[in-house]
């Protein structure tokens, strides 16, 4: 088995494989003569995660890392099983260390290593960028690091709390809603799906644009991202596929939009007729239902500033309008608030069924 020397001053190495290697693509009969050798992708030693006292080398895409098996296997069932299966097996070596090839993306693996060896989980005065959290969540899910998966999810929940109370605290969710949905689906996580889908309602065309087809076998175009606040483990490199919803989730977004419009139209077209509004209380000659009905059409139904695709925001806006309606007593305003709050919560809870969460 070959032993590759990585101690030379050249950071990049070509490796040749014997002709009978399974990675060679056989040419059909009658075609020009097949090449005698097959070349692998260029290797590049990672400048940070290459430890001279490491006992294994891991290759992800074109990057190789020299690491400590004990560090990986103590945190991950995946690596514990992988190393156990390869014990006693003759393997290709780099600098005398067995070489393990992993499927996945190097950007994700470097985020994982930054959490294990670097500063990611002990940042002071800064928070991780969404790019770094996305890479770490993918990596910890794919390579089975449950502790780091939980840490990444907790950081995402702090960034975008999933509760109804925090739904309007967006903090850059506009530019990341699609990517968040794709990420959560890939990692089998549902806790933030509703929050991300709902944010799409406030975006033009549900945040989606026409993208050129991604041809299999060709290098994907790297998307130039808007600036992100926070710490990133490496330069931000989003791919077109990071924002591409699957067919079913695209349909769910469309269904959510239709449901939101229907729910708001049903509420806004006529004033609520709560029974307590009809009482002639406090010696009034006109009941509160009449006062509300008189103002409703102009201030709610015909209001130009209502975001019809954001029912949750509209219910809050209506709550503010109640304070300005002349003839509506304080007691009825408080009771209307309670009903609006319950209607808002009922709508939010009902989205679980619409989105099949």
> Average per-residue pLDDT in the chain?
82
Q: Find all residues with CB under 8 Å of 47, minimum gap 6, and list them.
A: none
Burial of residue 260, with CB atoms counted within 10 A of its CB: 0-12 exposed, 13-18 middle, 19 or more buried:
buried
Q: Sorting pLDDT into bands at 50, 70 and 90, what band is 168?
A: confident
Q: How much is the average pLDDT of 198-217?
A: 74
What integer pLDDT is reported at residue 308 of this predicted model? 67
The mean pLDDT value for 202-229 works out to 64
Residue 33 predicted with pLDDT over 50: no
Query: Is residue 189 predicted with pLDDT exceeding 70?
Result: yes
Instruction: Look at residue 14 in the predicted model and tell me its pLDDT.
Output: 35
* pLDDT value at 3 more than 90: no
Q: Which residue has the higher pLDDT, 253 or 3?
A: 253
139-153, 226-240, 280-294, 326-340 — which is least confidently predicted?
280-294
pLDDT at 279 over 80: no
Q: Which residue has the tokens 């960028």?
A: 129
CA distance 328 to 337: 12
Q: Give the integer Cα–Cα distance in Å for 253 and 180.
A: 14
- The mean-pLDDT minimum among 31-40, 51-60, 286-295, 310-319 falls in 31-40
Highest mean pLDDT, choosing among 117-131, 260-274, 286-300 = 117-131
Over residues 122-138, mean pLDDT: 94
Q: Which residue has the tokens 């006992």?
A: 55
160 versus 285: the higher-pLDDT residue is 160
- How many whole angstroms separate alpha carbon 136 and alpha carbon 177? 18
94-122: per-residue pLDDT in tens?
A: 999 999 999 999 999 999 999 999 999 99
pLDDT, tens digit, 9 for 90 and up, residues 317-334: 888 888 888 888 888 888
Q: In 293-328, which positions are buried (b, 16+ CB within 10 angstroms) versus exposed (e)?
A: ebbbeebbeebeebeebbbbbbbebbeebbeebeeb
Report the pLDDT value the prediction gives residue 235, as an integer from 0 to 100.
Answer: 93
pLDDT value, residue 190:
95
- The region of weakest confidence among 130-139, 205-214, 262-271 is 205-214
Express as a percent the part of the chain with pLDDT over 90: 50
pLDDT tens per residue across span 54-73: 999 999 999 999 999 999 99
């Amino acid at each position: 088995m070959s032993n590759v020397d990585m101690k030379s001053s050249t950071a990049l190495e070509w490796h040749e494989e014997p002709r009978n290697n399974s990675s060679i693509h056989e040419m059909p009969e009658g075609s020009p003569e097949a090449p005698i050798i097959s070349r692998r992708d260029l290797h590049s030693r990672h400048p940070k995660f290459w430890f001279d006292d490491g006992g294994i080398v891991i290759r992800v895409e074109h990057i190789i890392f020299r690491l400590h098996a004990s560090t990986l296997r103590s945190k991950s069932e995946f690596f514990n099983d992988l190393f156990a299966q390869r014990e006693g097996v003759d393997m290709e070596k780099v600098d005398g260390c067995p070489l393990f090839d992993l499927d996945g993306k190097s950007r994700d693996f470097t985020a994982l290593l930054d959490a294990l060896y670097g500063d990611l989980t002990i940042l002071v005065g800064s928070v991780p960028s969404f790019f770094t959290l996305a890479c770490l969540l993918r990596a910890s899910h794919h390579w089975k690091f449950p502790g780091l998966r939980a840490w990444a999810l907790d950081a995402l929940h702090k960034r975008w709390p999933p509760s109804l109370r925090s739904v309007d605290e967006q903090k850059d969710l506009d530019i990341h809603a699609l990517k968040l949905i794709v990420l959560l689906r890939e990692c089998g996580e549902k806790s933030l799906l509703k929050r991300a889908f709902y944010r799409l309602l406030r975006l033009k065309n549900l945040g989606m644009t026409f993208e050129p087809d991604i041809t299999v076998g060709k290098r994907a175009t790297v998307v130039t991202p808007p600036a992100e606040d926070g710490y990133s483990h490496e330069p931000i490199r989003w791919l077109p596929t990071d924002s591409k919803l699957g067919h079913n989730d695209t349909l769910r977004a469309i269904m959510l939009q239709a449901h939101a419009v229907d729910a708001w139209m049903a509420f806004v077209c006529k004033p609520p007729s709560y029974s307590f509004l009809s009482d002639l209380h406090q010696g009034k000659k006109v009941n509160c239902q009449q006062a509300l009905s008189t103002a409703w059409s102009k201030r709610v139904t015909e209001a130009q500033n209502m975001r019809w695709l954001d029912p949750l925001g509209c219910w809050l806006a209506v709550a503010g309008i109640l304070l300005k309606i002349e003839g509506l007593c304080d007691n009825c305003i408080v009771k209307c608030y309670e009903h609006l709050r319950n209607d808002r919560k009922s709508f939010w809870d009902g989205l679980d069924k619409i989105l099949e969460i």
